Amino acid sequence: MNFISEFIEVIFSMALFVNAILFIPQSIEIYRKKSSNGVSLLTFLGFLLIQLFIVLHAIIKHDYILLIGYLLSMITCGSVVALILRFKNKALPSDIDIINQLPGHVYWKDTQGRMLGCNQSNMNDFGIDDINDYIGKTDYDLFNKEEADKIRLVDDEVVRNKVTKIFEESSTVASGEKVIFLSYKAPLKNHKGDVIGVIGYSMPVDDIKNKHQDRVDMLENIIAEMPGKVYWMNRQGIYLGCNNNEAEAIGLRSRYDIVGKRNKDLPGFLIPEELDPVNEKIMSDGKAITLEEPAKHKDGTDAIYLSSKVPLINKKNQVIGLLGISIDITDMKQKEKELQEAKEKAEESSIAKNDFIKNIEHDLRTPFSGVLGLAQCLLVEEQDKDKREVIKQIASCAEDLLDYHNKVLDFSNVKTGSIPISLKKFDLRNIVENIVHIEKPAATNKGVKLIYRYDDSIPSILMGDDYRVKRILINLVSNAIKFTAEGSIEISVQKAIQNNEHIIVEFIIKDTGIGIPVDKQQFIFEEFTRLNPSNKGAYKGVGIGLKIVKDFVKDVSGNIDLHSEMGKGSIFTITVPFIKPLTQNIYDMECNNE
Ligand code: ADP
C-alpha cells in the first residue's frame, strides 16, 4: 500500500510541476493575441476542478508541499481561465468563417477541376445549399460547355505554369443570368509547396462595367455630335477618328470610315498639299495653331475653314498625334469681303464729298471776302447816313457768312482728319491779341466790354499747334460775344504749371451772358447741338463750334472745363501744354512738323 501511495504522490508531483509550467505560455499566448480563440474554457475549468480536489486531498493528508504546489498550479491555471473569460467575446471568426463571409466567389478545386470547397456566396449563386453537394462537382456541372471549356483552359495554365491569372469571364449563374466576373486564379499548394489545384476569387463587375460603358457611350455621343468639324490623327498623319460633321463634310458614310486613312485617301474635299505640311509642323513643333485653311464644299465650290489644331501629348510628354476643330467660315469671309468693299466705297464717297465741300467753301470764301472788303471800302467813302446803314448790314451779313464758312471748313477738316498736328514756334501773345482785335468791334457794337489779360510770366514765343489754338479761341470768344447782351467778356491767358521745358497755359473766356443749363452742358460739345436754334430765337449758328473746340483741345492734349449758370454767364477754361523754345526768336528753327 505504501508503495502505491508513494507512487501516486510522485505522479501527482510530476503533474504538479508540468501543470504549473504549461499554463504560463498558454496565458501569455492568450494575452498576446487578445483572443481566446481555439482555447477550450471547459478543459481549463476541468483542470482547475482536479487541482481543487488535490488541494483538498493535501489538506486532509496534511501534505503541505503538495498543497503549496497545487495552489501555485491553480494560480497559473486560474489565470488562463480568467484570460479566456476576459477575451472570450473578442474571439475572431475562424478562417473558413471569414472566407464564407467574403463577397464574390471564393472556390478551390483539384488539378482535374473537381471542386474541393467554396464560400457561401458562391454556393448561393449556384443555388446549392449543402457544401457536400458542391464538393466533387466539375465546371461542366456548374457552367455550360463553352464557359466550362474556357475555365478549364485557364485553370490548366495556372496549374501547369504555376502562375496567377487575372481575366474577365462571363458566366451563367443559377438564376440563368449572365454575369461578368473579374477573376483572379492562383495555384493551390499543399504544405510542401506542391501544386494540388487552383484557388480562385471572382467578383461580379457588371455594375462597374455598365457604368464605364455608359460613360464611354456618352463620350462617344458627345464627340459624334460636336459642332464644327472635329478630327484626330496619329503622329504619322493617319486618322484615328472624327465627328459626324467632319465625316459628312468630307463625304464619308460613317465617321468610323475615316479610321486608318490619310488626307490623300479621303474624297477630294480637303487639299492635302495645304493641310499636311501644317499638321506635320504642329506635331514636330508640339505647338497649337489657329489658322484659315482652304478646302472644297461638296458642290465643288471653294470653302474656307477656321481651324484650331493642338498636338496630342502622352504622359511621357511625347507628341503622339493631333486634334483639330475646323469651322466653315466661307460665308463669314464673303460677308467680311463685302463689308470691306462697302467700307472702301463709303470712304471713297466720303472723301469725294469732303473734297466737294472743301472746294465749295474755298470757292465761296473768295467772293464773300470780296463783298466784305468792298462794303468796308464803300463805308469809308459813303457819307449818306441811310446808305451807310445799308452798307453796314451788307458787311455784317458777309461777315456772318464768312464765319459760317470758316466753321464748316474746320468741321470738314476735323471730320477727315486732314489738318496735321503741328509743332512749331509761334507768338502766342500775338495770336491772342489779334483775336481780341478782330472780335472787339462786334462786342463794342453790342455795348459789351471786352477785357483782355495776358500773364507776363508766360513766354510770348512758344512751340505748339498755333492753328488749333487760334481756332479754339475764336470759337469760344465769338460764342461769348454772341450769347452776351450786356456786361463784359474777359479773356485771360495765365500760367498754370511750368518747368524748364514745358508750360501749361490756361485760357479763360468768361462772359456775363445767358448761361447754359447744367443738364445741357454735356451735350453742347456734340455736333449740331444748339440750345437756342435760330428759328426759335435771335442767335445764329450751326452747332459745330464747340465740337471743333472739343476735338482740337483733344488733338493738342489739352483739357476743357465749363462752369455756367443760367442768366449769369459762362466760364470756359482751356488748358493747353506747350514746349518752351530755347530762344524767344521766332525765326530760329527748332522743330517744325508742318
Ligand atoms: P453755335 O454757337 O454755332 O450754335 P456751338 O457748338 O459753338 O454752336 O455751341 C453750341 C451751343 O452751346 C450754342 O448753340 C449755345 O446754345 C451753347 N453755347 C455755347 N457757348 C455759349 C455761351 N458762351 N453762352 C451760352 N451758351 C453757349
The percent of residues in the chain predicted with pLDDT above 70, rounded, is 93
Distance CA 560, CA 549 (A): 9
Atom of ligand 1 lying closest to residue 548 CA = 6
Centroid of ligand 1 to alpha carbon of 575 (angstroms): 20
Reported pTM: 0.44
CB 143 within 8 A of CB 173: no
The predicted structure's pLDDT at residue 80: 86
Using H for helix, E for strand and C for coil, what is the string for 482-507? HCCCCCEEEEEEEEEEECCCEEEEEE
CB 310 within 8 A of CB 322: yes
Atom of ligand 1 lying closest to residue 543 CA = 8
Distance CA 543, CA 537 (A): 14
Say whether pLDDT at 4 is over 60: yes
CB 175 within 8 A of CB 136: no
| Range with lowest mean pLDDT among 45-54, 87-96, 124-133, 381-390 | 87-96
The predicted structure's pLDDT at residue 198: 95
Place 20 in a pLDDT band, splitting at 50, 70 and 90. confident
The predicted structure's pLDDT at residue 272: 84
| Residue to substitute in 524, 539, 552 for testing ligand 1 pocket (most ligand atoms within 8 angstroms of CB) | 524
Nearest protein CA to atom 19 of ligand 1, as residue: 479
CB 242 within 8 A of CB 229: yes
Average pLDDT over residues 437-453: 91
Atom of ligand 1 lying closest to residue 530 CA = 14
**Most confident residue range from 54-63, 117-126, 235-244:** 235-244
The predicted structure's pLDDT at residue 535: 54
Say whether pLDDT at 258 is over 60: yes
The predicted structure's pLDDT at residue 3: 78
Give the residue from 406, 434, 541, 566 showing the smallest Cα distance to 493.
434
Place 91 in a pLDDT band, splitting at 50, 70 and 90. low
Centroid of ligand 1 to alpha carbon of 230 (angstroms): 61
Distance CA 523, CA 539 (A): 18
Contacts of 306 (CB under 8 A, 6+ apart): 290, 291, 292, 293, 326, 327, 329
Mean pLDDT across the chain? 86
- Pick 7 or 321 by higher pLDDT: 321
Atom of ligand 1 lying closest to residue 511 CA = 23
Average pLDDT over residues 64-74: 81
| Residue count of the chain | 594
- Pick 509 or 270 by higher pLDDT: 509
How many CA atoms does the CB half-sphere of 113 hold within 13 Å?
A: 16
Centroid of ligand 1 to alpha carbon of 419 (angstroms): 24
- DSSP H or E stretch at residue 572: strand 569-579
Contacts of 369 (CB under 8 A, 6+ apart): 402
Nearest protein CA to atom 21 of ligand 1, as residue: 479
- Provide the 10 A C-beta neighbour count for residue 13: 14
Say whether pLDDT at 594 is over 60: no
Centroid of ligand 1 to alpha carbon of 521 (angstroms): 10
Ligand 1 pocket residues where CB is under 6 Å = 475, 479-480, 483, 511, 513-516, 524, 529-532, 541-547, 570
Centroid of ligand 1 to alpha carbon of 552 (angstroms): 16
Place 1 in a pLDDT band, splitting at 50, 70 and 90. low
For the record, the C-alpha cell of 200 comes out as 480562385
- Residues 102-158 have pLDDT tens digits of 888 999 999 999 999 999 998 988 889 999 999 999 999 988 898 899 999 999 999
Distance CA 329, CA 292 (A): 9
CB 200 within 8 A of CB 183: yes
- DSSP H or E stretch at residue 561: strand 559-565
Distance CA 217, CA 238 (A): 24
The predicted structure's pLDDT at residue 591: 44
| Residue to substitute in 483, 508, 552 for testing ligand 1 pocket (most ligand atoms within 8 angstroms of CB) | 483
| Range with lowest mean pLDDT among 81-85, 155-159, 234-238, 480-484 | 81-85
Atom of ligand 1 lying closest to residue 546 CA = 6
Centroid of ligand 1 to alpha carbon of 531 (angstroms): 7
Distance CA 477, CA 546 (A): 11
Distance CA 396, CA 477 (A): 17
The predicted structure's pLDDT at residue 537: 55
Place 209 in a pLDDT band, splitting at 50, 70 and 90. confident
Atom of ligand 1 lying closest to residue 541 CA = 3
Centroid of ligand 1 to alpha carbon of 542 (angstroms): 9
Atom of ligand 1 lying closest to residue 515 CA = 25
The predicted structure's pLDDT at residue 586: 63
Centroid of ligand 1 to alpha carbon of 538 (angstroms): 13
The predicted structure's pLDDT at residue 286: 94
Average pLDDT over residues 292-315: 90
Centroid of ligand 1 to alpha carbon of 365 (angstroms): 23
